[in-house]
Amino acid sequence: MKKIAFLFPGQGSQSVGMGEEFYREYDMVREIFDMAEELTRINISKLCFKGPMEDLTMTVNLQPAVTAVNIACLAVIEKENIACDYSAGHSLGEYGALCTASVISREDTIRLVYRRGELMHREAGKQKGAMHAIVGLPIEAVSGLVAEAQQDGIVSVANHNMETQIVITGAPEAVEQVSTAAVAKGAKSIPLKVSGAWHSELIKGAEAEFKSYLDSVTFETPQKNTLFNVTAEPEKDPAAIRELMARQLCSPVRWYDIMNKLIQEEVEVFVEVGPGRVLAGLLKKTLPREYPGSIHNVSNMKQLEKFLKAF
């Protein structure tokens, strides 16, 4: 039997219309949206299906919206009696991974991401931040440039997405300094449209409050092998998982290491569970050319049918 990994996307995967086909097709999906709207008092279905994109992209709206769609897509797959052996999620998407592994309930998943979004939005309003994608240099080179620039301002690695695609985060001047140095070494620098310096010290003010909120939620032992952003390793202890989720706010997302771990574990079926194709795109460029793996997306009826036929 082939090993299966469910991968959950995060911020940046959103689009107007996401989740709408499944919402129309399945009662259970409508129930998930109703639950999310009741807990957040946000009209998530309207935001997801009609937009506007400007409102959908506000982190306080986006985090519960993307998570509701992720959980809805998961419910549709599980209805077909397909379960994963491994789960992982990119930043915000990590909450979908916890949900599929039965670490936290659907309701607590929505509660946590809503509070996370509120706190991150608050901190982003206090200090201006920026994020740039550096393409064409390995992590060692980017980390070296970051270390040099840290003498002048707050900057760090936010995401290690592919071998030579690294997102940096922090104060605009320091981020620009690293970008300029990276371009001088032959890399490309792409400014990202974000409302804050996610995974940086600039949102450190949210960490203690979020940790306290995490303490109010019941965490269970994972029923699936779940790889975590902070360590790129599995963790079974519920208390340790709670600690990792608090640290995740300001720590780098080690996505490239997570993908390599899944390759080492000989996972052959990768399913991006949620909107967009960001994770599938990263994975396609990471899998070795001769690797016997297949990559699927499940966020609408056509993709679901294609996945079920291949499965």
- Positions annotated as catalytic residues are 91, 199
Q: Which pTM value belongs to this model?
A: 0.97
CATH top-level class of 4-125+201-310: alpha beta
Nearest Cα to 161, choosing from 144, 147, 142? 142
How far is the C-alpha of 4 from the C-alpha of 17, rounded, in Å? 27
* C-alpha–C-alpha distance, residues 104 and 274, integer Å: 18
| CB 82 within 8 Å of CB 4 | yes
Domain spans of the chain, in order of start: 4-125+201-310, 130-191
pLDDT digits (tens, 9 = 90+) for 291-305: 999 999 999 999 999
* Class of the CATH domain delimited by 130-191: alpha beta
- Whether residue 311 is predicted with pLDDT greater than 90 in this model: the reply is no
Q: How many CB atoms lie within 10 A of CB 113?
A: 26
The pair of structure tokens assigned to 170 is 């922090």
Q: Which of 87, 93, 71, 82 lies closest to 26, judged by CA?
A: 71
pLDDT tens digits along 220-258: 999 999 999 999 999 999 999 999 999 999 999 999 999
Asked whether residue 1 carries a pLDDT value surpassing 90, the answer given is no
* pLDDT, position 153: 96
Q: What is the DSSP letter of 268?
A: -
pLDDT in tens, 263-279: 999 999 999 999 999 99
